Amino acid sequence: MLNRILLTVFLLALVIFGCTNNTTTTAVSSDVTVVIEEVHTGPDLSTIPEGPEGDMIRYGRELVMNTAKLIGPDGSEGHYLGNKMNCTNCHLDGGLRPYGYNYFSTYGRYPQYRSRENAVLTIEQRVNNCVERPHNGSPIPLGSKEMVAFVSYIQWASQGVPIGEKVKGSETYALTFPARAADPVKGEKLYTQHCARCHGENGEGIWLSDSSTYEYPPLWGEYGYQPGSSMFRLIKAAQFIKANMPFDQASWEKPILTDQEAFDVAAYVNDPKHPRPSKKGADYNDISTKYVDYPFGPYDDPFSEKQHKYGPFQPIIDYRKEHGLYLSY
């Protein structure tokens, strides 16, 4: 359901002309419809139906919440992931949290043109992108029960949102781009202050006692996400961090970090000196469609790899607009 409140405001405008000898009063009236869009919150779990379709949606939800246990390196249903993270570590509340990489508008936006592959991808292929990069794994077979379950759950989570459209809260939290480049040295201090108590001094996270998965997921290291992941892009990461971290204190309604701090701490988390399961980003077969914050050159604009990684981003955005170049971030 779209949480929209329609307020019809009856506007009465009085225009009064004062003249030397007489006074004319003109009354103009019109109906003005003001649309106030509330943040979309997604469907309630209790509405998953009974029966085989509901069972598939519920299994999809299980996979999103307990990914490592079911399809991790020691998974009971398959061994697809290369690490023990869960989809919900990034797709918060299993993809049902506003500004938390949710699935609210996902189903209706695929098949979709994806610049990295320079091709139109299905929702199944997009799921596998995350299995391969943030989870450092190998693709789930397209017709498998697990893939059908993921897609069934994502379709359920996207219900009520018109095909191809977005709703308020389905996107990442918009930030003001800082005028200076993000600074990983300042970010390190912020990390110690706000993040290390859960994610560890070395970004390694904290395991559950049986090591089946994490209490607090890793941010880097051999079990963290690959550099080809969207989380390795500074704008994407800063938007997520601003609206959601520190996990126990911040929310999109009450963020803790300033926009500049979110960029600085994201720059520290994504510092190339931190080890990750691979060194490279995913290859683009057409460099003209790279995201503004894609941190691996070459590019079709005159800005350096360093500026594409750390900013300032506004000059890049302005340049690309002016020259009619592909613009996405």
- CA-CA distance, 218 to 208, in Å (whole number)? 12
x/- track of binding to ligand HEC for residues 2-41 (CB under 6 A): ----------------------------------------
Q: Which of residues 233-292 bind ligand HEC (CB under 6 A)?
A: 236, 241, 245-248, 265, 269
Return the exposure string of 54-84: e unless at least 16 CB atoms fall within 10 Å of the residue's CB, then b.
eebbbbbbbbbbbbbbbbbeebebeebbbbb
67 vs 307 by CB, closer to ligand HEC: 67
CB-wise, 3 or 258, nearer to ligand HEC?
258
Q: How far is the CB of 207 from ligand HEC (least distance, A)?
A: 13
Q: Can you give the length of the chain in residues? A: 329
Binding to ligand HEC in span 77-116, by CB under 6 A: 85, 87-92, 101, 106, 109
Stretch that binds ligand HEC, among 194-202, 277-285, 298-306, 317-325 (CB under 6 A): 194-202
Q: Phi/psi class of residue 255: alpha, beta or left (left: φ > 0; alpha: ψ in -120 to 50)? A: beta
Does 127 interact with ligand HEC (rule: CB under 6 A)? yes
| Phi, psi for 236 (deg, rounded to 5) | -60, -45
The nearer residue to ligand HEC, 11 or 185, going by C-beta atoms, is: 185
Is there binding between residue 172 and ligand HEC (CB under 6 A)? Answer: yes
Asked whether the beta carbons of 299 and 308 are under 8 A apart, the reply is: yes
For residues 290 and 170, what is the distance between their CA atoms, to the nearest angstrom?
22
Using alpha carbons, select from 150, 37, 41 the residue that is nearest to residue 93: 41
C-alpha to C-alpha distance for 251 and 256, rounded to whole angstroms: 8
Taking the complex as a whole, the smallest distance from the CB of residue 259 to ligand HEC amounts, in Å, to 13
Task: Rank residues 279 and 323 by Cβ distance to ligand HEC and give the closer one.
Answer: 279
Question: Closest CB to ligand HEC among 242 and 308?
Answer: 242
Cα distance from N-terminal residue to C-terminal residue, the chain: 28
The first and second tokens of residue 45, run together, are 């779990």
Query: 122 or 304, CB closer to ligand HEC?
Result: 122
Nearest CB to ligand HEC, comparing residues 230 and 307: 230
Distance CA 319, CA 329 (A): 14
DSSP 44-110: -GGGSPSHHHHHHHHHHHHHHHSHHHHHSTT-SS----SS---GGGTSHHHHTSTTSS--TTTGGG-
Q: How far is the CB of 118 from ligand HEC (least distance, A)?
A: 16
Closest approach of Cβ 26 to ligand HEC, in Å? 50
Residues lying near ligand HEC in the complex (CB under 6 A): 67, 85, 87-92, 101, 106, 109, 126-127, 130-131, 134-135, 150, 154, 172, 194-195, 197-199, 216-219, 225, 229-231, 236, 241, 245-248, 265, 269
